[in-house]
Amino acid sequence: MEFPILKDILIIFALSTLVNYAFNRIKVPTIVGYLLTGVLAGPHLTGIVSSSESIHTLAEIGVVLLLFTIGLEFSLKHLIKIRRVVFVGGFMQVFVTAALILLVARSYEMDLLGAVFIGFITALSSTAVVLKVLQDRSELTSNYGRTVLGILIFQDILLVPLLLFTPLLGGETEGVGSMIFYLGIKSVLIIVMVYVGHKWVMPWVLHIIAMTKNQELYFMSVLLICLGIAFLTNELGMSLAFGAFLAGLMISESEHSHHIYGHIIPFKDIFTSFFFVSIGMMLDLEFVVDNLSLVFITVLVVIGIKAFVAGMTGFVLGHTFRGFILVGLALAQVGEFSFILVQLGLGYGIVSDFYYQLFLATAVTTMSLTPFQIMLSRPLSSWLVSFPLPKVLIEGMFPLKQIDIPVLENHLVLIGKDSRSRNIAAMAGYIHLPYIAIAFDPAEVKKRQEEGETIIYGDAANEPILRRAHVETAEVIVVSIGDMITALSIIERVRHLNKHASIFVRTRYVEDVEELHRVGATQVIPEEFETAIEVFERVLNKYLIPQSDISQIIGRIRKDNYGVVRQSVKSSRFSIMKDLPNIEISALKVHEHSPVVGKNLAELDFRKNAGVTVVAIKRSDLIVENPMAETRFKKGDIVYVLGKQDQIAHTVKMFMAK
């Protein structure tokens, strides 16, 4: 008995493991490795994968699970907040891009209907690739990440009208009116389904399943919800992926969302890899080699147009020049749903086989370049904003209302919008320490301004923004930015304005400490290690290490810039374990006929007779710490003693009933 699908999966796993191992050594994103795996295993090169249809099915499941986790990370409240981005931004990005691509397609001597069709399908970006990269970089909920997601949601919604639009361009007009009518009915049904499911059905269902305390049942139920809603929305005319996103949204505000996310992630990663492999399998290398210059120029034109239009869309929505770069490069590729549409277009005779192959080559290439574009977007934007720029580029088209910034000296400047920055601001306000905050999120800034905070909206990598916060006269500057490149840029500019201020920087990783110190940071606090230090300090306390020794150990680790975790340490400078006293605390109960009843600590002299120390006595609900020598034991007392194991064993005998 043969299992061709199993053989194909083994080939893909083996090939992708080898490719990604090599790519990992040279810091190339895994998505590119999967795409290359598809090219190598696909029918246009080696043809070693025989059942490409089965791989495409697995790929579809991967996209469904990816969008489900994206929905879990987001929420219906967040979606409502970005409705302007979805409809205004999405409309602008799609239709302006389509118009410009139409003009380019006409210059390629394509007929008008074909050019219109190519314009719209090229305007779509890759939901799977972009959201996967943003999710991996923890940028999905960032200011620009929300804009990118909003535009992608509009594109997914637009897929259904485009599916109706394609037969029209192919000359089929029969039944179009009824199709549009039913589309409207289905859209209303989907909206009602999402609202009812989010508000009442999902919380109740998940609670009932969770009460069974059966992990297998729980996981199967979650998969049923995800795939079931995806299938249902697909039956109503939407894509499976969009349905999975809606399923995630319904659950996102449930108390179970994080638990579900943890269960889905491993399956999502495996199945999503099949999606990227399947995209690579579509690339016809022979066509690319024969038309190399044409493919190269087309790729450059598509990336250029899409990046510019998406960037301008972000700018119109209120982003600064940095946001223009970030949003533009994130959406500068052709999307996976475009493959479905272009195959329909080929079937209806809207595009010829040559333009079909050119489109596939362009789409796969732009998708392959996307991880690099997003990776380079921050350093590129940091470099560009270092030049003198017009005020409108620094503050955006719709800057927030300017507030009066007091002239301060020796004050605190907080840069960043995360919870740590907000908490420091709250504590500074509590003790009346003067501070000015800078954040690069208009919604966050507006909210905090309304609450009475002195906070400025803007990119702290721009000197005019720093000058508004009077950085040049500040005593302390705290930089709490998740992105390393941006943090380096900010520190350099802060140090240029103020040579003497103390700059405290929060970073994610210990590996960044030296580089941040090099550009001017006074002290760097890596969040991954500060948490470990706090836990380690409590561990040492549990081992009864003297507090002075603990302080010395922690102090030396920090003084060494966390060198103990940035290198392989074979021998430690600290010899704590050999000095551990091997002491423990034990609780002993005083029974009715115990010989200690009625006697006091002075009479019993546990330290002399057993070598232990009585540290506390619990009597009913009262705890007596460090009891006095005259304290007498009563029936039912719980006595806490400190000593070595053999000493405690001897003490137990003293408590035993006659």
How confident is the model over 345-358, as a mean pLDDT? Answer: 91
| Residue the block writes with tokens 């998505």 | 31
* 370 lies in the same domain as 419: no
Q: What pLDDT score was predicted for residue 1?
A: 56
Tell me how many helices (H) and strands (E) the chain has: 31, 10
The answer for residues whose C-beta is within 8 angstroms of residue 291's C-beta and 6 or more apart is 358, 361
Determine the pLDDT at residue 291: 95
Q: What is the helix (H) or strand (E) element at residue 597, kind and residue range?
A: none
Average pLDDT over residues 206-220: 86
**Average of per-residue pLDDT across 193-221:** 87
314 and 427: one domain? no
Query: Tell me, what's the pLDDT at 514?
Result: 86
Name the band, by pLDDT with cuts 50, 70 and 90, for residue 329.
very high
Stretch 90-103: mean pLDDT:
96
The residue with greater pLDDT, 122 or 266, is 122
The dihedral region occupied by 544, where left means phi > 0, alpha psi between -120 and 50, and beta the remainder, is left
pLDDT for 67 beyond 90: no
Which pLDDT score is estimated for 400?
A: 63
β-pairing, 584-589 with 502-507? unpaired
Which of 579, 614, 636 is the last residue before a domain boundary?
579
pLDDT exceeds 70 at position 542: no
Q: Please name which of 304, 278, 433 lies closest in space to residue 364, comparing C-alpha atoms.
A: 278
Q: Is 518 a domain residue?
A: no
Those residues with Cβ within 8 angstroms of residue 639's Cβ, 6 or more apart along the chain or in another chain: 587, 588, 589, 590, 614, 616, 617, 633, 655
What's the order of all strands across the beta sheet hosting 584-589? 584-589, 638-643, 613-619, 622-625
Are 147 and 280 within one domain?
yes
> Strand, coil or helix: what is 434?
coil
pLDDT in tens, 292-308: 999 999 999 999 999 99
What rounded mean pLDDT belongs to the chain? Answer: 86
CA distances (Å), 258 to each of 73, 216, 325, 527, 547, in order?
9, 17, 32, 21, 37
Q: What is the mean pLDDT of residues 59-85?
A: 84
pLDDT band at 252 (very low <50, low <70, confident <90, very high): confident
Query: How is 38-106 classified by DSSP, letter by letter?
Result: HHHHSTTTT-----HHHHHHHHHHHHHHHHHHHHHHS-HHHHHHTHHIIIIIHHHHHHHHHHHHHHHHH
With beta carbons less than 8 A apart as the criterion, state whether 295 and 288 touch.
Answer: yes
Q: Please report which helix (H) or strand (E) contains residue 627, including its range.
A: none
Task: Give me the pLDDT at residue 570, please.
Answer: 46
Whether the predicted pLDDT of 27 surpasses 70: yes
pLDDT value at residue 571: 47
Residue 651's CATH number? 3.30.70.1450
Q: Is residue 392 in some structural domain? A: no
Q: Which tens digit of pLDDT belongs to each residue from 42-52?
A: 888 888 987 77
- pLDDT at 566 > cutoff 70: no
Amino acid at 403: I
Kindly report, residue by residue over 438-464, the tens digit of the pLDDT: 998 887 888 888 888 999 988 898 888
- Give the per-residue pLDDT at 581: 59
Residue 522 belongs to a domain: no
Contacts 24+ apart (CB under 8 A), 347-352: 347/170, 348/166, 348/167, 348/169, 348/170, 348/171, 348/172, 349/170, 350/113, 350/114, 350/117, 350/166, 350/169, 350/170, 351/110, 351/114, 351/117, 351/118, 352/114
Q: In the structure encoding, which two tokens stand for residue 391, read together?
A: 């005020």
Predicted confidence (pLDDT) at residue 212 exceeds the cutoff of 80: yes
Tokens of 172: 């089929």
Of 27-36, 342-351, 615-624, give the lowest mean pLDDT range.
615-624
CATH number of the CATH domain containing 502 = 3.40.50.720
Q: What is the pLDDT of residue 344?
A: 86
Q: Identify the band that residue 564 occupies on the pLDDT scale cut at 50, 70 and 90.
A: low
pLDDT band for position 546 (cuts 50, 70, 90): low
598 — alpha (psi -120 to 50), left (phi > 0) or beta? left
**Residues 429, 414 within the same domain:** yes
Is the confidence at residue 589, as pLDDT, over 50?
yes
- Shared domain for 283 and 316, answered yes or no, is yes
Nearest CA-CA partner of 411 in 455, 501, 504, 475? 475
For the chain, what is the domain count?
4
Q: Is the pLDDT of residue 174 over 90?
A: no
Residue 622 has pLDDT above 70, yes or no: yes
Q: Give the pLDDT score at 336.
A: 86
Higher pLDDT, 390 or 534: 390
Taking the C-alpha atoms of residue 456 and residue 471, their distance in angstroms, rounded to an integer, is 12
Q: What is the CATH number of the domain that holds 51?
A: 1.20.1530.20
Does some domain include residue 146? yes
Decide if pLDDT at 62 tops 70.
Answer: yes
Residue 48 in tokens: 């070693």
**Are both 573 and 612 inside the same structural domain?**
no
Mapped onto helix, strand or coil, the DSSP state of residue 650 is: helix
- Residue pair 633/598 in contact by the 8 Å Cβ criterion: yes
Query: What pLDDT does 108 receive?
Result: 86
Q: Is the pLDDT assigned to residue 495 strictly greater than 60?
A: yes
554 or 285: which leads in pLDDT: 285
Q: What is the mean pLDDT of residues 470-489?
A: 90
What is the domain range of residue 644?
584-655
Separation CA 345–CA 357 (nearest Å): 12
Which residue(s) pair with 415 in the sheet? 438, 479
Q: Which two tokens stand for residue 45?
A: 């090169």
More confident residue, 344 or 563: 344
Contact criterion met (CB below 8 Å) for 90 and 66: no
Res 258: pLDDT: 75
If one compares 496 and 238, the residue with the highest pLDDT of the two is 496
Banded model confidence at residue 593, pLDDT cuts 50, 70, 90: confident
375-381 average pLDDT score:
91
Structural domain contains residue 640: yes
User: Model confidence over 568-584: pLDDT tens digits?
Assistant: 444 444 555 455 556 77
Lowest mean pLDDT across 117-121, 162-166, 220-224, 339-343: 162-166
Q: Is residue 642 in a domain?
A: yes
User: Does 455 lie in the same domain as 407?
Assistant: yes
* pLDDT tens-digit readout, 504-516: 998 877 778 889 9
Characterise 583 by phi-psi region: left (phi > 0), alpha (psi -120 to 50), beta (else): beta
Among 265-269, 401-405, 643-647, the least confident range: 401-405
Q: Is residue 519 a part of any domain in this protein? A: no
What pLDDT was estimated at residue 543? 64
For residue 394, pLDDT beyond 80: no
Q: Which percentage of the chain shows pLDDT scores above 70?
A: 92
Q: Are residues 62 and 195 in the same domain?
A: yes
Same domain? For 408 and 269 the reply is: no
pLDDT beyond 80 at 127: yes
Whole-number pLDDT of residue 569: 44
Is the domain of 572 the same as that of 588?
Answer: no
CA 318, CA 349: separation in Å to the nearest integer?
41
Residues 547 and 636 grouped into a single domain: no
How does residue 501 score in pLDDT terms, banded at 50, 70 and 90?
very high
Q: What is the model's pLDDT at position 475?
A: 93
Identify the band that residue 550 occupies on the pLDDT scale cut at 50, 70 and 90: confident
Asked whether residue 521 is assigned to any structural domain, the reply reads no
| C-alpha closest to that of 405 among 413, 395, 397 | 413
Q: Are residues 410 and 534 part of one domain?
A: no
Residue 620 gets the label, from left (phi > 0), alpha (psi -120 to 50) or beta, of left
Instruction: Quickly state the pLDDT bin for 17 (edges 50, 70, 90).
Output: very high
